[in-house]
Amino acid sequence: MRDRIEKINELIKTNISHLLTRELSLKSGVFITISKVDTTSDLRYTNVFFSIYPEKETGYAQIALKKEMYAIQGALNKMLVMKPLPKIIFKLDTTESKADEIEKILKEI
């Protein structure tokens, strides 16, 4: 079962990445990267963790994602041949910014 979930996570990550490049029009210089996908064992929900570059555009990118959420979900549902089709939940991945903060603190010590 675990291998199946990992394969589904990878499939969703790949497809969402392609969809975001094709379907989501962001202003020049703003990039969204899918860092991790975590699907529940019952396949009902998928948490898609993303990071945004540059970080100062986080609010703008989150609004753009929210606005296009249903189009992205619909396109993904057409691509996936599985039942049930998981509901996508986008979550901001703050791991990198937290790591930067920790690194700065360690350098000060």
> CATH no. for residue 86?
3.30.300.20
Cβ proximity of 40 and 86 under 8 Å: yes
The pLDDT tens digits of the residues spanning 46-95 come to 999 998 888 888 888 888 888 888 888 999 999 888 888 899 999 998 77
The confidence band for 97, taking pLDDT boundaries of 50, 70 and 90, is: low
Q: What's the whole-number mean pLDDT along residues 19-41?
A: 86
Query: For residue 90, what are the domain limits?
Result: 2-108
Nearest to 75 by CA among 16, 11, 14: 16
Apex 86 CA angle, 84 and 88, nearest 5? 165
Residue 57 or 10, more confident: 10
Q: Looking at residue 23, what is its pLDDT?
A: 76
Q: What's the whole-number mean pLDDT along residues 16-37?
A: 85
What DSSP designation does 98 have?
H
pTM, whole model, 2 decimals? 0.79
- Number of domains forming the structure of the chain: 1
Apex 8 CA angle, 7 and 10, nearest 5? 65
Q: How far separated are the first and last CA of the chain, in Å rounded?
A: 45
